[in-house]
Structures are given as C-alpha cells and as structure tokens.
Structure 1
Amino acid sequence: MAARMSNAIAAVILAAGKGTRMKSDLHKVLHPIAGRPMLLHLMASVDELNPAKKVVVVGDKADQIEAALNGSAALAVQEPQLGTGHAVQQAEAALAGFDGDVLILYGDVPFVPPATMRAMVDRLNAPDAPAVVVLAFEPADPLQYGRVITDGDRVVKMVEHKDATEAERAVRLCNSGLMAAKARDLFALLARVTDDNAAKEYYLVDIVNIANADGRHCAVARADPADVAGINSRAELAAAEAQWQRFKREEAMAEGASLRAPETVWFSWDTELGRDVTIEPNVVFGPGVTIADNVIVKAYSHIEGATIAAGCEVGPFARLRPGTVLGEKAKIGNFVETKKAELGKGAKANHLTYLGDVTVGANANIGAGTITCNYDGYFKYRTEIGENAFIGSNSALVAPVKIGRDAIVGAGSAVTRDVADGELRLVRGEQLVKPGWADRFHDAMRKKKAEK
C-alpha cells in the first residue's frame, strides 16, 4: 500500500477541453502570453507552493500538453469529457495514497496568484474545518457564470447559470471554478455527484451542495476578477496579454527602469531589467533577455535571447537575436543585427551591420555595412575579431576567419584569410583613373539626346 501523505498540497489542473472557440490546431492552454504558454504561467505559480503532487487532466491534443510539461506533472486522461466533476475524478488514481489538500485549478485561468492559492488552503485548514473552499469573485458583468449563494463566508448553495432561478441570477458573486478540499473529502463527494441537470454533466460545484446536505459547511474565499479571468478565444487571449503587459510595465518602472512610452514596450515573461535602464518607445523583448544597470535601449529595437552588460547602448532599429552577449559599454547602433555574437567591453557596431557567429574583442570598431559571412549553405562558421581591431565600412568577413588584435581591414574588403595582429588588410580591385573621361561621356550623351 502506498504511503499516505498529509499536511501537503496537490494541484489538479483541468485542461481536457477542446477549446473550439480558439479555432486553432494548438491546444488552448498552450497559446502563449508574453512568450510563455498560459498553462506554464499557472504551473509556475503552483510551484511556488512547493506542491507534493501535480496532476494535469488532459483530453483533446493530450500529446501537445505532455510535450509542453516535459515530465513536470502527472497526466490523467478524461475521455469522454462529461463535465468538470468527472474531470477531477480522473485524477483520483494519480493521487492514490495522498491525504493532503487538493487545489483544483484550470489551465485556461493562468494568472491565479500563489497568495490566492495559499489563502484557499489556509481557509480549508481553519478551525471550523470546511469541507470545500470555493474561490469566488464579483465581475462587472456576471454573464453566464455560475452563482455562489452565501451567508457570511459560508456557501449556502452553488448553482450553474443555466440552472439558476431569476433570483439566483441576480446574485453578483460568481464561481471561478477553483476549489480546495481535503483529498479524502473531495473524491468521496465526487463519487456521489450525478448528471441530473440541464446539460447532463457531472458538475464539480455539486460537491458543495452535497456537503451542505450532509450537514457540513463550505466556505468562500474571494479573488480579484482579473486574477481568475478565463481565456477561451483569441480576443480574450489578447486581453490577457494586455493585462500581463500592464502589470510588467508597472513592475519594471517600480523597480527603477524608465519607459518613455510604457504602452508601446512589450516584455517577455522572463525579461530582467537592471536599475536606471531606459527603454524608448516601440521596443519588443522576446524570451531570454537580461539587461544590467544603466543600459539604453532606443526606439524600435527587437531583443531576444540576449545578455546586455552595464552601460551598453542598443538601437534605434536594432535586432539582437539569441546568443548575443554585449560586454560593458558596448554599442549596437541603428539597423544592426546580431546572432550568436559576443562583443567585448566598449566594442561598437554603429550602423547597418550583420554580426552572426562572431566574437568581437574589446574596443573593436565595426564599420557601417560590414557583414560576417557565416553560412555556406550547409554549415555555420565563426569569425573572431581581436581587441582594438578596426573593420572598415562595407567589408565582408568570410568565415571561418580571424582578424588579429589592433588589425585594420580597409573599407570595401572581402576578407577570406586570417589577418595578423597589427596588420592592414586591403582586398580591392586596383582603381582605374581616366582624366576627362566623364566630361567627354556627358558631352557625347547630351549631343546624342539632342539629335533625337
């Protein structure tokens, strides 16, 4: 017999629905918010409670969810899908031997704060020992939400909108769907739920009514409507993105970053900003960006997978792709693209340059129009540029190639062989000079045109 686990928390996350309103081949709960699947936003919050067990109930597109979770939670399959109560029942086997507190959450309700989850568990373990804790909220418009009928913080009745009377629909306190119960109570109550309702489904809310009928009581905890907003359509997904971005912008400014036009800056879920960072308008951060103190990111820049050291300047119109590492006080200017590029302290690429698969030494200067030719159609190769090197404008560095310390590459050069330390390398055709040729050409062409 499995060992029993008490004084612990388990999370059951429901994600079996088809999400038809999304009209997508991607499972609804995997649609990203700030570059991270909404399900993983929720899982990260759950993890802050250090749960003993996590069970995700899956159905449609289960393989996609399994791949996204990558072994971080157990899976339980709901097939067919016969309602929320039936869905939670599918987790019973995965929680065999568990005798702690169970949080019931939804994969498409991604922004539930850990503090709210903890408050539900604390209420469940209060001295009056409620059988179930229901998380409720008061939306601006109750719409089709199920209602929570209360007396103080005790739940008198739970009713789905389609089964509610007009008087019950007039109640503004709504059911978020989230609940907490002791494992031993939860599954015993679920076993008694029937499908005697308008939808012929097994409603999770019925466990509250059954417990009440047994003479036990259930309690309500309250949440901000924004924290329990569900996402069922592309429009709601966009609204959730906007909500998350507003929060992140406010957090960034509170922590010491200056956003010149906050509403135009878009962060990723893991963006890290230092103090006294300045972000100009229309900047987009993809995943994996860390920015140290006193950095300026100028307008219309796109940064993803990059580490930027203190005192750097980026943009405007710069694109930093994954693998970019900028050393202290390095500078990436307008219309410069980098990928797997490491720039040393004080190195500069100010204009119109592509730096891919390259290491640039400290204080090196990369002239306008320079490119590292890193791909031959089959493989990628690296370029190494030494400290204090100067690469003239409109140069092509054909990798693999090394440019030495203090070396100079003359403008317009196509460099295919290594350049030694301190060397000047010019790779150009010899200039041909014909005095007066242009004047004679213009005279001839003007005469020809006049004769027509």
Structure 2
Amino acid sequence: MIAAGDCVLILLAAGRSRRMGDVGSKLDEPFLGRPLGLHVAVALEDMPFMERVAVVGQANCDYAAHGYTLVHNDDPQLGMGRSVALGVDCARARGAKAVVVALADMPRVTATHIYTLLDAAEGEDAVVASSDGRSPKPPAVFGRARFDALLQLEGDAGGRDMVRAGKHVVTNPAELIDVDTPEELERLRQLVNAPEAYTRRRQI
C-alpha cells in the first residue's frame, strides 16, 4: 500500500484532440454541466495528495482553481510520453514516493478506484494500472523506482509496456471510458442521460 499523501497526482491534459474535429480542445466540451476535462479533477479533489500537477496544453479548463500546479507542455506533438515526463520531473523534485497518472479525457474515474490502485501498490518498484477486464490502461500508479524510466518515455506509448507487465486492478468498464471522438462523447452523454445529449438531439 502507498498512501495518497506520499504521491503526486499527474493529470494529463495536453492532448491535441486530433480525432475530435474542429473543436479546439475536447476537454472544453460540455459534459454534465462542466467541461469534460474538469470531471476527474473534481472527482479527486478531496484526496490528500502531496501535490496535484496538471500538464496542460490548449484547453481552457481552470485546473488551478481545483488546487493543481500547472505545467505547460509546449511540444504536445511529442506525444503523451512528454507530458508524463514533465509531471514525473515535478514529482521527483518533491520527493514523492509514487505518482498517480490520470487522463483528463476519462471523466468517470472515481476516488474510490484510485484508493484501490494505491492499496494494491507495493514498494518503490510498483506499477499498478486499471483494467476493464480486457486490457490495462490509466489511471496507473508508479513507484519512484520507475521515475527514471518514465522520464525517458517518447511518443504516445505512455509507458504501455511497463503497464502491461505490472499489476492490474479490474473495475467497471464504464469508469474507464475515455473520449477521443465526437461519437464517443455523444455515446457517453446518452449513457448517463447528460442534458447535453438531449440538447444536441433537439438541434439536429
């Protein structure tokens, strides 16, 4: 078990939204009355992390208002690996025992699940990822012995090989939905009866 108070939360929010079309940043799209990219920030705001770091790009989400230190990724074309490395660099400077890496485009993640990941993490070598029962994915916990490897990440792999070889904690697949396309966002809105789904249908 690794305590939340010994961890830095790294929220990756610098994606290029290439598959969303001409919307600017998908994280600014409305979902259940707030920007899509703020949901996980709000869901985890009561967890006692030693620090929260949001690695940001073009989105307008106000992460600072939710207690996040902002780190700007000026080279988002370098992929997710660059964002992870920026966040881990901050965590290492703080002396964190571990990092929790979460994605801002996964709006259904809960604090309960993050605590379960931390409970399953053992020691400095820990790698604990989420799973929908088929494949591992974020959010994930990495012990500090993994920081050097995370700092060397390149492209969009984001530590995929490390995650596959780690421990996996299965949760409800609905909690791990991520949003990459307009169709996925609309399906999610309909799944949870979001008012934006009905507004969209009336406009069509």
Per the shorter chain, which TM-score range?
Answer: 0.7 to 0.9
How far does the alpha carbon of each residue in 1:226-253 deviate from its partner, in whole angstroms, 9 at most, with x for none? 100011122211222222338xxxxxxx
Aligned residue number for residue 110 of structure 2: 113
> Any gaps of 5 or more consecutive residues in structure 2?
200-204
How far apart, CA to CA, are the structure 2 residues paired with 1:178 and 1:188?
19
Please say if 1:90 is aligned against 2:86: yes
> SS at 1:44's partner residue?
helix
Of residues 222, 232, 239, the one that matches 2:170 is: 222
Deviation at 1:6, TM superposition (A): 8.6
Distance 1:191 1:69 in 2: 23
- The counterpart of 1:233, out of the listed 161, 181, 199, is 181
> Runs of 5+ in structure 1 lacking a partner?
139-172, 213-217, 247-265, 268-281, 285-452
2:29 equivalent to 1:74: no
Counterpart position of 2:17: 19
Relative to 1, partners in 2 of residues 1:107 and 1:7: Cα closer, same or farther, differing over 3 Å? closer
Distance in 1, matches of 2:100 and 2:110, equals: 13
CA distance in 2, matches of 1:30, 1:16: 12
Cα distance change, pair 93–189 in 1 and its aligned pair in 2 (3 A): closer
Higher strand content, 1 or 2: 1
2-structure distance, mates of 1:69, 1:37: 11
Q: State how 1:41-190 maps to structure 2 within 5 Å.
A: 41-59=39-57, 61-62=58-59, 64-65=60-61, 68-71=62-65, 72-78=67-73, 79-95=75-91, 96-125=93-122, 131-138=126-133, 173-182=134-143, 184-190=144-150
Among all aligned residue pairs of Structure 1 and Structure 2, give the percentage whose two residues are the same amino acid.
22
**Aligned partner letter, 1:238:** E
Over residues 59-116 of structure 1, what are the superposed CA-to-partner deviations in whole Å (9 max), with x where a residue is unaligned? 3x15x23xx2244311222214323333210113432123233211101001012111
Output the amino acid matched with 1:226: A
Q: Counterpart of 1:117 in structure 2: which amino acid? A: I
Partner amino acid for 2:42? A
Equivalent residues of 1:84, 1:204 under 8 A apart: no
Contact kept, 8 Å, 1:82 with 1:202, in 2: the verdict is no
Q: Distance in 2 between matches of 1:121 and 1:106?
A: 17
The verdict on how the C-alpha distance between 1:50 and 1:203 changes in structure 2, with shifts beyond 3 A counting, is: closer
CA distance in 2, matches of 1:45, 1:99: 22
**Aligned partner letter, 1:10:** V
Q: What's 1:205 paired with?
A: 160
Question: The residue matched to 1:47 in structure 2 has which SS?
Answer: coil
| Residue 308 (structure 1) aligns with | none
Output the CA distance in 1 between the equivalents of 2:167 and 2:24: 37
Contact 1:7 1:100 in 2 (8 A): no
TM-score by length of 2: 0.80
What is the number of residues matched between the two proteins?
193
Task: Summarize the Cα distance change of 1:235–1:185 in structure 2 as closer, same or farther, 3 Å threshold.
Answer: same
Q: Distance in 1 between matches of 2:124 and 2:167?
A: 9
Larger radius of gyration: 1
C-alpha contact 2:128 2:167 (8 A) present in aligned 1:
yes
Higher helix share: 2
Decide whether aligned partners of structure 1 residues 233 and 39 sit closer, same or farther in structure 2, where only a CA change above 3 A counts: same
CA contact (8 A) 1:135 1:220 kept: yes
Asked whether the equivalents of residues 6 and 98 of structure 1 are also in contact (C-alpha less than 8 Å), the reply is: no
User: In the TM superposition, what whole-angstrom CA distance separates every residue of 1:363-391 from its partner, at most 9, and x where no partner exists?
Assistant: xxxxxxxxxxxxxxxxxxxxxxxxxxxxx
In structure 2, the CA distance between the partners of 1:219 and 1:18, relative to structure 1 (3 Å rule), is same
Deviations 1:146-165 (A, max 9, x none): xxxxxxxxxxxxxxxxxxxx
Higher relative contact order (CA 8 A, sep 6+): 2
| Partner residue in 2 for 1:374 | none
Letter matched to residue 113 of structure 2: T
CA RMSD of aligned residues (A): 2.9
